[in-house]
């Protein structure tokens, strides 16, 4: 029996010690050899460092000032410093990380979920938010949870203002449980409701989301020859507009699928002018090692509202984008851009931050 007694005592001692350690505030729930990356203090990793692409150089450090002793003041001074770094990239050529590139692809539609009684959800997904006239709209719906769902599900497209039904379709259930169907965006430009109706637990439930139908703004007609001007890689994009107006073009510049920069340009277009130059500044290009062709993707052109109350109209380039062989990029330098208004803004912010 003494052995059993000793074992029982040892068990009780070990259990008490273990419970104590478990309940200690020092127990973070992580094994130390797995938690090297766990933050030890508030100086955490920035989710998306604004200082640009990896390897880019920062401007020459300014002489260190006396640091702030005020928390909010420190944050404002920090923002001023970050802003001063950010404006070294001109707004027409901003550096992209993969994460930021995802957010700036334009024309995104994130799935919309409708909670059902209990823990169920009724979710509808589209490929995009804006569709050009006569384009097909692929609708995908799913229901999760313990609800009883009918075999049939339908989708209808209704004008947001007049409430006319533009198109309707039955959704068919695929083997993986999703319901799919297709509608056609054959309607006047404007805002529309996508109404997906299902019978759930014997009741008709409508999932409603918004999409837009855009006018045909014109035709993209490829790229011109890229060249170097000043400290920019200039990429001419041919677009023949159907109507004159003030247009804004945005696109992402990629190297083998890796995002480099978000490019933007604004220009008045008419029948005599059908090219918009996108420019990639030396501050995003100089440290790139480009071998072969570059890609331009996620082209989005907008006809900006001529006056307040007018609608912004949207057009899109080909899904596959364009690729081109860049000229020799050697002459591009990682020199900060110069925008007097932004520099003045940075100086004012800095002056404000200097108080702290």
Site for another protein in 269-298 (CB under 8 A): none
**In the complex, least distance from residue 184 CB atom to another protein, rounded to whole angstroms:** 20
Which of 310, 331, 335, 338 binds another protein (CB under 8 A)? It is: 310
**In the complex, least distance from residue 203 CB atom to another protein, rounded to whole angstroms:** 6
Which of 56, 73, 168, 173 binds another protein (CB under 8 A)? It is: 73
Pick from 220, 218, 247: nearest CA to 320: 220
Helices marked H in 148-307 — which ranges? Answer: 282-285
Q: For residue 176, is it left (φ>0), alpha (ψ between -120 and 50) or beta?
A: alpha
Any idea what DSSP says for residue 271? T
Task: Report if residue 130 touches another protein, rule: CB under 8 A.
Answer: yes
Question: What's the rounded Cα separation, in Å, for the pair 237 and 246?
Answer: 16
- CA 147 to chain CA mean position, Å: 34
Task: Report if residue 76 touches another protein, rule: CB under 8 A.
Answer: yes
Question: What's the rounded Cα separation, in Å, for the pair 24 and 259?
Answer: 46
Question: What's the rounded Cα separation, in Å, for the pair 116 and 121?
Answer: 5
Q: Which stretch binds another protein (CB under 8 A): 171-179, 218-226, 242-250, 288-296?
A: 242-250
Task: Report if residue 34 touches another protein, rule: CB under 8 A.
Answer: no
Task: Report if residue 170 touches another protein, rule: CB under 8 A.
Answer: no
Question: What's the rounded Cα separation, in Å, for the pair 86 and 78?
Answer: 12
Q: Which stretch binds another protein (CB under 8 A): 145-153, 225-233, 300-308, 325-333?
A: 300-308
Q: Which is nearer to another protein, 145 or 218 (CB)?
A: 145
Task: Report if residue 109 touches another protein, rule: CB under 8 A.
Answer: yes
Task: Report if residue 129 touches another protein, rule: CB under 8 A.
Answer: yes
Task: Report if residue 63 touches another protein, rule: CB under 8 A.
Answer: yes
Which run of H or E residues covers position 219? strand 218-223
Q: Which is nearer to another protein, 116 or 285 (CB)?
A: 116
Task: Report if residue 238 touches another protein, rule: CB under 8 A.
Answer: no
Sign for the CA dihedral angle at 264, 270, 271, 272 comes to negative
Please compute, for residue 247, the number of CA atoms within 13 A of its CA located in the half-sphere on the CB side.
29
Question: What's the rounded Cα separation, in Å, for the pair 56 and 85?
Answer: 11
Look at residue 356 and give its three-state secondary structure.
Answer: coil
Pick from 49, 44, 104: nearest CA to 82: 49
Q: Which is nearer to another protein, 65 or 182 (CB)?
A: 65
Task: Report if residue 348 touches another protein, rule: CB under 8 A.
Answer: yes
Which run of H or E residues covers position 237? strand 232-241
Q: In the block, which residue shows the tokens 């695929």?
A: 174
Q: Which is nearer to another protein, 2 or 340 (CB)?
A: 340
Task: Report if residue 56 touches another protein, rule: CB under 8 A.
Answer: no
Task: Report if residue 106 touches another protein, rule: CB under 8 A.
Answer: yes
Q: Which stretch binds another protein (CB under 8 A): 58-66, 171-179, 227-235, 320-328?
A: 58-66
Binding positions for another protein, 193-232, rule CB under 8 A: 193, 195, 201, 203, 205-210
Which of 1, 34, 54, 71 binds another protein (CB under 8 A)? It is: 71
């Amino acid at each position: 029996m003494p052995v059993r007694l000793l074992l029982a005592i040892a068990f009780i001692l070990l259990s008490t010690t273990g419970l104590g350690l478990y309940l200690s505030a020092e127990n973070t729930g992580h094994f130390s050899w797995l938690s090297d990356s766990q933050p030890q203090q508030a100086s955490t990793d920035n989710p998306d460092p604004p200082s640009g692409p990896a390897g880019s150089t920062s401007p020459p450090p300014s002489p260190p000032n006396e640091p702030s002793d005020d928390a909010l003041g420190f944050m404002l001074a920090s923002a001023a410093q970050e802003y001063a770094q950010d404006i070294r990239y001109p707004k027409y050529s901003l550096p992209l990380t993969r994460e930021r590139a995802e957010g700036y692809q334009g024309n995104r539609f994130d799935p919309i979920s409708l909670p059902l009684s209990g823990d169920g959800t009724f979710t509808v997904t589209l490929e995009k938010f804006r569709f050009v006239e006569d384009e097909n709209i692929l609708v995908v719906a799913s229901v999760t949870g313990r609800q009883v769902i009918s075999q049939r599900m339908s989708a209808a497209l209704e004008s947001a203002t007049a409430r006319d039904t533009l198109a309707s379709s039955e959704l068919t259930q695929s083997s993986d449980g999703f319901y799919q169907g297709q509608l056609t965006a054959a309607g006047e430009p404007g805002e529309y409701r996508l109404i997906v109706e299902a019978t759930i637990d014997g009741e008709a439930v409508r999932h409603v989301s918004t999409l837009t139908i855009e006018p045909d703004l014109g035709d993209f007609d490829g790229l011109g020859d890229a060249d170097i001007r000043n400290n920019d890689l200039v990429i001419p994009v041919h677009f023949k507009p159907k109507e004159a107006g003030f247009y804004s073009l945005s696109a992402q510049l990629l190297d083998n699928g890796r995002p480099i920069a978000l490019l933007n340009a604004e220009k008045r277009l008419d029948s005599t002018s059908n090219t918009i130059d996108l420019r990639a500044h030396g501050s995003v290009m100089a440290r790139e090692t480009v071998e072969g062709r570059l890609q331009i993707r996620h082209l989005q052109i907008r006809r900006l509202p001529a006056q307040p109350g007018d609608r912004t109209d949207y057009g899109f380039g080909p899904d596959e984008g364009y690729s081109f062989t860049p000229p020799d990029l050697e002459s591009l330098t990682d020199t900060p851009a110069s925008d007097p208004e932004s520099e003045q803004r940075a100086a004012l912010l800095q002056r404000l931050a200097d108080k702290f």
